Copies of this chain bind each other. A is one copy, B any other.
Amino acid sequence: MTTHTDTSLPIGVFDSGVGGLTVLKAIREELPNENLVYLGDTARLPYGTKSTASIESYAKQATKKLREYNIKILVVACNTASAAAIDTLQQYLAPIPVIGVVEPGVEAAITASMGDSYLVLATEATVRLGAYSRAIKKRDLNAKVREQSCEMLVALAEEGWTSGHIADSIVRRYLLEAEDKTFKADSIILGCTHFPLLRDTISNIVGDVVVVDSAVTTAAVVRETLTSHKIMSMGKQSGTLKLLATDGTQRFARIGGNFLGQSLTAQNVQLVDL
């Protein structure tokens, strides 16, 4: 990245659907003057149950589309795509920096945890890829890590059933599957961008166990990267926000509003083809 990059160029954020809006929200709070363009690949969601080859190919197509918007940095706001394709995307976009959510999530957990047993709640594909285990053990060789796939939590978040006895029972069942006599989590990493919507439910069940997600730490890494690359926006006004989806703008608006924390209509979302 040369120092000639126009600092008003947007930050690109991509996810398989609406979940990454939890990360977008944190970036907007951390960096309110930045222009943002978000792409949700809703035509092919969820990534979490797809093969690694498909996820890589989809992530590359989404990145190609965001490049048309002259992004100055890319945030892969999807744990599954981060786990499957971060190296591929970094090579593809170089010298434009690419940030995933796995490393910032692990950083947050290591900082906050009171012990060395980490439970990662994630999608099937993220668990299969084992990126969280590798990232944690790179920092702490003695760490004990369990990764638990929790597809029903994705459905709960999309349906908006984020509290109450159904959400409670489902979370308890996954925790029961993950923990046993030999493993009791000191911290829980929300390894899917849908899961912050279930944070209160999870925290109520696990009590003192630290529950972390990657949204806030990812936003902090974006700030550091913009600073080190000298591409932080000089604007004093609120940044713009452009929302793109590959399918179903009405559904994107209806469900995405819960993730972004503001109401959206289909007119706020532009349909694009990859």
Interfacial residues of chain A within 6-56, with CB under 8 A of chain B in the complex: 42-45, 49-51, 54
Copies of this protein, total? 2
A107 on the B face (CB < 8 A): no
Closest chain B residue to A155, Cβ basis: B155
The interface residues of chain B lying within 8 Å CB-to-CB of A44 are 43-44
Given contacts A44-B44, A155-B155, whether A248 and B166 have CB atoms under 8 Å apart is: no
Interfacial residues of chain A within 222-258, with CB under 8 A of chain B in the complex: 247-248, 251
The interface residues of chain B lying within 8 Å CB-to-CB of A156 are 152
- State which of B49, B154, B247 has its C-beta within 8 Å of the C-beta of A54: B247
How would residues 169 to 180 of chain A score, 1 for a CB under 8 Å from any chain B CB and 0 otherwise?
110010000000
A181 on the B face (CB < 8 A): no
- State which of B54, B124, B166, B251 has its C-beta within 8 Å of the C-beta of A170: B166
The interface residues of chain B lying within 8 Å CB-to-CB of A116 are none
Count contacts on A: residues with CB < 8 A to the other chain: 25
How distant is A256 from chain B, measured CB to nearest CB, in Å? 13
How distant is A165 from chain B, measured CB to nearest CB, in Å? 7
The interface residues of chain B lying within 8 Å CB-to-CB of A124 are 251
Interfacial residues of chain A within 50-97, with CB under 8 A of chain B in the complex: 50-51, 54
The interface residues of chain B lying within 8 Å CB-to-CB of A158 are 49, 151
A248 to B170, CA, bound (A): 25
How distant is A2 from chain B, measured CB to nearest CB, in Å? 39
15 other A-B residue contacts (CB within 8 Å) besides A152-B155, A152-B159, A166-B173: A42-B50, A43-B44, A43-B54, A44-B44, A45-B49, A49-B158, A50-B247, A50-B248, A54-B247, A54-B248, A151-B155, A152-B156, A154-B155, A166-B170, A169-B169
Q: List 21 A-B contacts (CB under 8 A).
A: A42-B50, A43-B44, A43-B50, A43-B54, A44-B44, A49-B251, A50-B247, A51-B248, A54-B248, A124-B251, A151-B155, A152-B152, A152-B156, A152-B161, A154-B155, A155-B155, A161-B173, A165-B169, A166-B166, A166-B173, A169-B169
